Amino acid sequence: MIHTLKYYAQLLKFRLSFTVVFSAMSGYLIGIDDFSTSDFLLLIFGGFLVTGSANGFNQILERNFDKLMERTAERPLPLGKLSVTQAFIFSFITGALGLYLLNFIHPQGSFFGLFSKSSFFGLLSILLYVLAYTPMKRISTFSVFVGAIPGAIPFLLGWVAATDNFELVGGTLFAIQFLWQFPHFIAIAWVLDVEYKNAGFKMLFGGQKGTYPAFLAIITSIAMVVLSVVPYFWNTTGLVLTTYSFVAILALGWWFINKTVQLYQNPRDEQAKKLMIASIIYLPVTQIIYIVDRFLH
């Protein structure tokens, strides 16, 4: 029984799901004026279940390819620890429950009388991740662009859960995390290039390691950093940066851009790993700066 529960938990991908939920929590804390404990908890648990559901469906669709990669060969479906039916039922129930919880956040502002805005974005992220991004990974590197959309929704989702509006700030938060996906994905695809190719996944821009994917990482990271400090020049409510936060984010962005430049100048696996680690650090630290600035401001 305990082992079976462990296998179901592996479908959720706890670490990945937590990082996604952290972005949603950040968006909420940036946007909120009147903190609601119930809405915040609904966002955390609903967001976690929605993300876990998408991860589960992803593993169902990729079960035969996961066998071909060392990184994923020990997942429950390739090992035969769970059947496809078991995984499907679990992922469906998990997703439905997550959407149900999100639907209680500002239910008065519903789409078509069915979904709150938070629940709608949760459903959209599942559909894009499972039905578009996952199958496209074996077709074209355009999948990275498609996958960046559901990957960026959590930051926006948090803002919408707090304000029940999209607004310029919500769109900016979405764009920041959208652009972040590219250097992050490029670094991962670079490090795992052999495994991805063995499984038939087309994840690295240009099809091979070199200056082309590194150049794309530079361009998207510059755009991301510029967008990250734009709120400093706004005169509006919500995300308005103080000078201290402006300098901190700019310095952090310069450090991150430098990692992409180093990959371009020295296109080796070691530099790609450094960029990957830098990307994991950059996003949550930037979000924390936004949060601290919001409450101090």
Same domain, yes or no, for 158 and 223? no
Same domain, yes or no, for 198 and 115? no
Same domain, yes or no, for 178 and 157? no
Same domain, yes or no, for 192 and 267? yes
Query: If DSSP codes are grouped into helix, strand and coil, which group holds residue 111?
Result: strand
Q: Say whether pLDDT at 182 is over 90.
A: yes
Same domain, yes or no, for 25 and 146? yes
Q: Say whether pLDDT at 238 is over 90.
A: no
Q: What is the mean pLDDT of residues 44-51?
A: 96
Is residue 21 within 8 A of residue 48, CB to CB? The reply is yes
pLDDT tens digits, residue range 84-94?
A: 999 999 999 99
Q: What is the mean pLDDT of residues 111-119?
A: 77
CA 154 to chain centre: 7
Quick one: pLDDT band at residue 100, thresholds 50, 70, 90? very high
pLDDT at position 236: 61
Rg (CA), the chain: 19
Same domain, yes or no, for 156 and 205? no
Is residue 144 within 8 A of residue 163, CB to CB? The reply is no
Instruction: Read off the DSSP letter of residue 107.
Output: G
Look at residues 164, 197, 230 and tell me which one is the last residue of a structural domain.
164
Same domain, yes or no, for 185 and 144? no
Q: What is the mean pLDDT of residues 242-249?
A: 92
Q: What percent of the chain has pLDDT over 90?
A: 74
Q: What is the mean pLDDT of residues 254-267?
A: 97
Same domain, yes or no, for 156 and 187? no
What's the whole-model pTM score? 0.93
Same domain, yes or no, for 99 and 179? no
Closest by Cα among 239, 277, 240 to 260? 277
Same domain, yes or no, for 134 and 188? no
Give the CATH number of the domain where residue 94 resides: 1.10.357.140
pLDDT at position 211: 92
pLDDT at position 2: 65
What distance in Å separates the CA atoms of residue 217 and residue 179, rounded to the nearest whole number?
9
What distance in Å separates the CA atoms of residue 221 and residue 182, rounded to the nearest whole number?
8
Quick one: pLDDT band at residue 105, thresholds 50, 70, 90? very high
Is residue 103 within 8 A of residue 47, CB to CB? The reply is no
Is residue 24 within 8 A of residue 43, CB to CB? The reply is yes
Same domain, yes or no, for 1 and 145? yes
Query: If DSSP codes are grouped into helix, strand and coil, which group holds residue 63?
Result: helix
Whose tokens are 């499907």? That residue is: 88
pLDDT at position 111: 60
Q: How many domains does the chain have?
A: 2
Host domain of residue 212: 166-297
What distance in Å separates the CA atoms of residue 50 and residue 55, rounded to the nearest whole number?
9
Quick one: pLDDT band at residue 167, thresholds 50, 70, 90? confident
The backbone torsions φ and ψ at residue 133, rounded to the nearest 5 degrees and listed phi first, read -60, -50
What is the full DSSP assignment across 136-167?
HTTT-THHHHHHHHHHHHHHHHHHHHHHS--H
pLDDT at position 130: 95
Side chain identity at 296, as an amino acid letter? L
Query: If DSSP codes are grouped into helix, strand and coil, which group holds residue 115?
Result: strand
pLDDT at position 133: 96
Length of the chain: 297
Same domain, yes or no, for 205 and 151? no
